[in-house]
Amino acid sequence: MLIECKPISKEIIERAKRKAKGKKLWLHNIVVGGDEASLVYARSNLKLLRKAGFEGKIHHLENAKEKELLYLIESLNEDENVHGIMVNFPLPKEIDALKVREKISPIKDVDGINPLNYGRLLLGEERLVPNTPRAIVEILKRITTLRGKDILIINRTPVVGKPLSLMLLKRDATPTVAHSKTRNLKYKTRRADII
């Protein structure tokens, strides 16, 4: 089944516009290193933000050290004009991703990667959760009931596969998480109601 997501996206943008009406909300998106895919994703987010009436800024730190990145996050945490912070992953190997996740203020963590927000998700609270799993669940809810469905997730990353599996469990689906080392993937794809 092919899903037309543009109408859903448009509806979500309109809903966000109504919620933000009269407020000047800012998201700061941080890209570290030269990963072109991260830059494309950040630019795409900025475009969507502006459509929804928000403001945004991309901080591209091409050769930043961990200390510089943590300092930037801390300064954004303290700035009352900053309402959301998003760090694009993957980070360069020399930067400790856990330190970065811990540094983002839980109330400004729009991607739900701070350990406090991640822990809340594990406990079934969906306050601030990663954007991609939230979008997937939103789309799936519109086309089918999730209760009792066998759903195969071919992704085990901390920002997509793992949170998506938790969000689906909360909706009484039965998620299976597969990855590059999964055996019998073909069998699992045939068995799943949704992939």
Q: Which of 70, 65, 128 is nearest to 99 (CA)?
A: 70
Assess whether 64 and 91 both reside in one domain: yes
pTM: 0.86
The verdict on residue 1 lying in a domain is no
Assess whether 59 and 93 both reside in one domain: yes
Helix (H, G, I), strand (E, B) or coil at 96: coil
- Last-in-domain residue among 122, 151, 172: 122
Assess whether 103 and 144 both reside in one domain: no
Assess whether 38 and 76 both reside in one domain: yes
The verdict on residue 64 lying in a domain is yes
Assess whether 49 and 107 both reside in one domain: yes
What CATH number does the domain containing 158 carry?
3.40.50.720
The verdict on residue 30 lying in a domain is yes
Encode pLDDT of 147-158 as tens digits: 999 999 999 999
Domain residues for the domain of 159 are 131-191
What CATH number does the domain containing 65 carry?
3.40.50.10860
Assess whether 117 and 180 both reside in one domain: no
Instruction: State the total domains in the chain.
Output: 2
User: How many angstroms separate the CA atoms of 168 and 163, rounded?
Assistant: 9
DSSP 90: P
Assess whether 86 and 136 both reside in one domain: no
DSSP E strands: which ranges in the chain? 26-32, 55-61, 84-87, 150-154, 174-178
Assess whether 105 and 21 both reside in one domain: yes
Per-residue pLDDT of the chain (195 residues; tens, 9 = 90+): 667 888 888 888 888 888 877 788 899 999 999 889 989 999 998 998 888 889 999 999 999 999 999 999 999 999 999 999 999 988 999 999 999 999 999 999 999 999 999 999 999 999 899 989 999 999 999 889 999 999 999 999 999 999 999 999 999 999 999 999 999 999 999 999 999
